Structure 1
Amino acid sequence: MLEPGDRAGGRWLRELGARALVRRLLDGGPPLPGVSDKRWAGLCARAARADPGRDLDAAREAGMRFVCPGDAEWPAQLDDLGDARPTGLWVRGRAGLRLWALRSVALVGARACTEYGAHMAATLAAGLAERGWVVVSGGAYGVDGAAHRGALASGGATVAVLACGLDRPYPSGHARLIDRIAAQGLVVGELPPGDHPTPGRFIVRNRVIAALTRGTVVVEAAYRSGSLVTARAAQRLGRHTMGVPGPATSARSAGVHELLRGGAALVTDAAEVVELVGAIGELAPRRSGPVLPRDLLEPAARQVLAALPARGAPSAAEIARGARTAPDDAIARLYELRSLGYVERHGDGWKLTRQTMISVRADRDGC
């Protein structure tokens, strides 16, 4: 009877209870506080057409169940939505929604994503699934579909939150994918069997994705992307909000970059996501460049090596001045470096070997 996210209806449910609210709507008396006469008349007409028994029969026939607040399977974190909390969720799949939601991450982004966006979504989802996390998304084309497929391909768990009746999956081109998700994971939604999606329902649906999960990752999103609605809902709810950066010139990543400028965490792989949403001690590995042979030299030897110019063959005294050390110490270090193949002697002078010069140039070019 109530549209998803209807805060006035949610307040009535909290204050009156479901049975009393249904009686008021069916009686068609004076409107309850918070709505106009016109909207109240529309709600009463909708209540008169409602047939819960028919919906439940259709759901059972399609292998669905209805989960509402207070049920053992109800995810308590949805209560954070307050009066915008779903009145209940239709669920398709064998797994328990409450337990899966406790260790879940939302992966959302552009429908018209690039190959880079699809690759990052699938890779992140696979990495999260391999670490025992449930990947939640909206079942749409683009990033959503890539995230679901990445989790499924890794033998992991995934949940699709739809903005329509579960017996009418949208988009229709993802009907087989949604069937796979239902077989290996869960498909959930607020709308009863037979209901169709609308633009407004997609936007309102996103609050469920944000509330259901420990954090939301946006992979690609333009400035007006609906996935940013999910991210902002996650921020309001105190959930972790993350973004995967893209090319600075890409309009499809402009919304993500704005999100990052606003305080969202930058992530590039599943380990970095888990570091934020996981338990204490689940840290991502430290990032560093490759270890070069000269990195293993003692500091005094590295200092002398750094004092040798790319051209010419300075004397030991000149090298000592450049390394800020005594001539005797510089000579000792130069002979040590010669034995390791870093330098060679030319008369009274010293110079880098050809191999060392190539290595130094490559290192400088990579800086």
Structure 2
Amino acid sequence: MAKTKVSDLDWNNLGFKYHDLPFRWTDEFKDGKWQGGHLTEDSTIVFNEAAEEMHYGQEIFEGLKAYRRKDGGINLFRPDQNARRMANSAKRLMMQAYPEDKFIEGVKEVVKANQDFVPPYGSGGTLYIRPFMIGTQPVVGVQRSESYIFRIYATPVGAYVKGLNPMPYKISEYDRAAYAGTGQAKTAGNYAASLLPSLEAKKEGFADCLYLDPREHKYIDEFGGANFYGITKDGQFQTPKSPSILPSITKKSLLQIAKDQGLNPVETQIPITEVGRFSEAGAMGTAAVISPVSSLTYNGKKVTFGDGKHAGPVTQKLYDTLFGIQVGDLPDKYGWTVPLE
């Protein structure tokens, strides 16, 4: 694959896809230790046909972004939280956790080395950063790997969903992750499980699926790639509490912002039969930030939020506040942004 050049890119029409940038970070765990990590121009990985991750799924990943500020500088957003979550995912998948300080170092080095590819302020684009780790030991029996490759690549992307345009979703009959399974880990298998339900939903005219809890199928869990929130008719921010969903950094941030905006936020079980109590609803995550939900369809019944055509006022304010902090337009009183020096 040919390396992407800045001149190849249309900043206003990037889409959400991979570009082979000049540099990425790579490290290897072998002989009982990480080797130190360094930048490389090689975007290929070579491993044995019996590599553990190919057959038994020891793979984890993260997603974060670099944002261009109005003054031309670059912000990272809470990379320490991504480092911590990846360490937790590694623990669940019995992998060798990558040191959190090295994780942050690697992210910074990749962004610095590819900084010309951070989209301009105001374009709606960002530099998406994908750290991941795979088990590489050749195995036949089911067992953990004793060797790993850790990588961080970056790619410029446009908005995952352009604008705050509410979209319709359906409640899936499938499960994304098992109760007490790997739902709280960011691992490939959880996303593979969502591919078929997502495709079927899109064929039916929906944006995607929302999953229920895998034990009772009574309570809202999450979307295939984002957490759910709802705003009650009396103005409370609610988001599901469940052992089978990914702890979202965007959700964690919005819970704090919602608290400061007087929305009395709570993490709680949300019965699917009670979604009518919400005047606004949305998906929240790194890729989309916030994507408003126009309606949910379950067992043939459709529940619409607001007028179904426009983002509600609370959603708009939450989005403006979070994104304003990320790009440096609003003061960061929380200490979440990390300016790239």
Fold shared, TM-score > 0.5 on shorter chain: no
Which structure has more relative contact order (CA 8 Å, sep 6+)? It is 2
The TM-score by the shorter chain falls in which range?
under 0.3
Rg larger for:
1
Structure whose residues are more often helix by fraction: 1
Structure whose residues are more often strand by fraction: 2
